[in-house]
Amino acid sequence: MKKTILLILVAFVALVSEVNAQDPHFSQFYANPLYINPALAGANVCPRVNMTYRNQWPSLGNPFTTETVTYDQYVDFLSGGIGFILLGDQQGQTFSNVSLSMMYSLRLKLTSKVNLNLALQATVANRSLDFTGLTFGDMIDPRYGFIYPTQAQVPTSPSHTYADFSAGTVIYGDNWYGGVAFAHLTQPDDGFISYNRLPLKSTVHGGMKLNLSRDKRRTNAFFGAPIISPNVIYHNQGGFQDLNYGVYLDWSPFIVGAWFRQALTFKNADAFIFMVGVQEGMFKVGYSYDLTVSSLSNVSGGAHEITLGLQFNCPEKRRKVKSIDCPSF
């Protein structure tokens, strides 16, 4: 019954609104910094690896799952950061997307306290479709169900590979940051049967970190100084907009966060996001849950997201470069 209700609601949305292809989104935004903005490549200066697994709408039985593995670091002789993203996205059992992205972020010093990063990203992506897993209205018999072959046009090839390009910029100071990124600049063709332009995606993000300790040092042998970090992220792609705003509380080694996501296209609430994480030494691990509050209620099962990060030490001989003091989850 839950699946039936959800499918009816999704079908209703598709009938009353223009639907365009959308990139996957993550709830632990800064655990996937390169996915937010390629200008964040090398933001932590030293080499780091981040891994993410997201399971969205698990109550469907065939949920949307997305995995990423990223690597980035600052390179002295390039005066900027380099990064790589390997992404896999599976939508049910019929559609999958795999991509590899490479980026370079040039770092410019504007003043003694303000820096600017400018980045370009190149991507090779492959989308594949299992047409046998799709069902159509002309396959249904009122009495016996799905017994007829469909007359829908079958793609000549179930796989499509294309090149893609993105760009971004980040400006930051001692305890604040803000950036803009644009994905799919050339709006490549990602269609299987007819020509379909992948919609341009724009992202705007920003925030700050506020140390609540007067002496700004460790308050005892175990906990660090408490730091709160309000932040906001806005996405716009293919006419669909969403706004995420919330706050982290970093009381080392523990980090918690809460956000509210609003789908601006329909002018309604979408989800509350809750996150907990632990960061100790070179390791960090985080878990978040999206509690759906839209008209779908929580019939979909929300979304679970797990992140794992590894922060390596810098080589001994390295000139002093300022890192971007943004959240890590």
pLDDT over 70 (residue 16): no
Residue 283: pLDDT over 70: yes
Say yes or no to pLDDT of 17 above 80. no
Q: Which amino acid is at 76?
A: D
Work out the percent of the chain whose per-residue pLDDT is above 70: 87
Tell me the mean pLDDT in the region 233-250.
93
The pLDDT confidence band at residue 9, using thresholds 50, 70 and 90, is very low
- Fold classification of 20-311 is Porin (2.40.160)
CB 64 within 8 A of CB 24: yes
- What residue type is 88 in one-letter code? G
pLDDT 10s digits, 300-314: 778 999 999 999 998
More confident residue, 22 or 64: 64
Based on C-alpha coordinates, what's the Rg of the chain? Answer: 22
Q: 318 falls in which pLDDT band (50, 70, 90)?
A: low
Q: pTM of the predicted model, to two decimals? A: 0.86
Q: Average of pLDDT values for 216-243?
A: 81
> What is the residue extent of each domain of the chain?
20-311
Q: 236 pairs with which residues across the strands?
A: 202, 241
- pLDDT tens-digit series, residues 68-99: 999 999 999 999 999 999 999 998 778 899 99
Going through the chain in order, the beta strands assigned E by DSSP cover 48-56, 64-75, 80-91, 95-109, 115-129, 140-141, 145-146, 159-172, 176-183, 201-208, 210-211, 227-237, 240-251, 254-263, 268-280, 283-292, 303-311
Mean pLDDT of 281-292: 93
Assess whether pLDDT exceeds 50 at residue 19.
no
